[in-house]
Amino acid sequence: MKKSMLAIILLVGLVVYGGYDLLQKSSLQTGQTKSTDIANLETGTQKGQVAPDFSLTDLNGNQVKLADYTGKTVLVNFWATWCPPCRVEMPHMQKFYEDYKEKDVVILGVNLTPTEKNMEVVNDFVREQQLSFPIMLDQEGEVTQAYKVVAYPTTYILDADGVIREKFQGAINYEVMEKAISSLN
């Protein structure tokens, strides 16, 4: 009898622990992390990891840090002016930014500056496309390397805690961005 009771208690304990563990993993996958959970996450470039922080100069010479956008959903988009898929994607990025900036969503455009002919082509492109979201210059290519960008464009979608929830290699459109953002809620 004592062995049966001990086995039942042990079994109930395992079921409760399993349920708790499953609930914790589920909340991490759906973006419902708690600040205490963030400290336990690894920094990296895979889904479920905290995105590496960076600081780059924008087109106006101001320092912009990823950490400055904690509390907002962030799309980090790596792009170049010479990249045809990047050029196709930019009007979608701009429209999405305009529609979602009041909803605590921001786009950070990271230009692959070492691959550009000169800064004039970057400025001309931004003016031509009428881009109003922050454009930063990865002049040494360090952020591009840190994020392991191998295809252009590449977009990382970070939740309000800076955790990577999606990664897209190649051009995405408005609908893809909208779907990815709505899945965070």
CATH number at residue 64: 3.40.30.10
Same domain, residue pair 11 and 50: no
Higher pLDDT, 103 or 13: 103
Interval 148-183: pLDDT, tens: 999 999 999 999 999 999 999 999 999 999 999 999
The range of the structural domain enclosing residue 2 comes to 1-30
Is 9 within the bounds of a domain?
Answer: yes
Output the CA–CA distances (angstroms, integers) from residue 176 to 84, 118, 122, 167, 182, in the order listed. Answer: 18, 31, 25, 11, 10
- Per residue in 52-111, pLDDT (tens digit) is 999 999 999 999 999 999 999 999 999 999 999 999 999 999 999 999 999 999 999 999
Decide if 168 is inside a domain: yes
Q: Residues 46-58: pLDDT tens digits?
A: 999 999 999 999 9
Contacts with 54 (C-beta within 8 Å, 6 or more apart), sequence order? 65, 66, 142, 143, 146
pTM for the model stands at 0.80
User: Per-residue pLDDT averaged across 109-114, rounded?
Assistant: 97
Is 60 strand, coil or helix? coil
